[in-house]
A and B are shown apart, each in its own frame.
Chain A
Amino acid sequence: MNFDKEYDASGLSCPLPILKTKKALADMASGQVLKVLSTDSGSVKDMQAFAEQTGNSLLATEEASGKFTFYMKKK
């Protein structure tokens, strides 16, 4: 999937992946896509919840051997 910016939150625990995602999105333009990497299994549900509550779109979630990848499109 195409993306405009990437943030690696690997090794970080709740709530840092969410807080860092929010920060990374801050200087992006509407419609741009942020790719976030995480090793926190809790972030799967949290990213969904973040998207629902902020209006950003979680385009896809991928998992591969304990690594999670999220694609978040900015509102």
Chain B
Amino acid sequence: MSSKKMAIIATKGTLDMAYPPFILASTAAALGYEVQVFFTFYGLQLLRKDLSSVMISPLANPAMPMPVPMPVMVQMLPGMESMATMMMKQKLKKHGVASLEELRDLCLEAEVKFVACQMTVDLFEFDKSEFIDNIEYGGAATFLGFAGDTDICLFV
């Protein structure tokens, strides 16, 4: 029996939205799925060697639980994004949630295939040397070639 397949399109480059693709991809791989993740637009940030620019903003994110109610006027102050990111990372660590780097490594170890959108790389003039090794570059047709034959296909 051939293994089940899952394809994910990762389009977001924020800390909160980085977790679902990596969690699902690593877990599916552990369950025996063949997995491909296609990173496009801001999702490309998740393939950088250095993930420190992946942050979370309380601004325009009203569902984010805050220790104290925070008016939008305060959320827009300089440094709020760094502070929110630091607090979120502390919280994740305290609860034993893996870091993005760790989950990404577990994905690669489990042979999850990462595909970076060539068009977006060119569009934003990204330097490929800033991305991790072991990724491929391709376009929509590359993704659909795999996605057309999957059991699960998600857009994140």
With A50-B31, A53-B31, A54-B32 known to touch, is A11 a contact of B26 (CB < 8 Å)? Answer: no
Chain A interface: which size bin?
10 to 19
* Count of chain A to chain B residue pairs whose CB atoms are closer than 8 Å in the complex: 36
Chain B residues numbered 26-82 whose CB sits less than 8 Å from any CB in chain A: 26-27, 30-32
Q: Which residue of A lies closest to B22 (CB)?
A: A15
Tell me the complex Cα distance, A53–B106, Å: 19
Asked if A11 contacts B30 (CB within 8 A), the reply is no
Asked if A19 contacts B96 (CB within 8 A), the reply is no
Chain B interface: which size bin?
10 to 19
With A19-B106, A53-B32, A54-B32 known to touch, is A40 a contact of B96 (CB < 8 Å)? Answer: yes
Asked if B32 contacts A16 (CB within 8 A), the reply is no
A interface list, Cβ under 8 A from B? 11-16, 18-19, 21-22, 39-40, 50, 53-54
B interface list, Cβ under 8 A from A? 23, 26-27, 30-32, 95-98, 106, 110
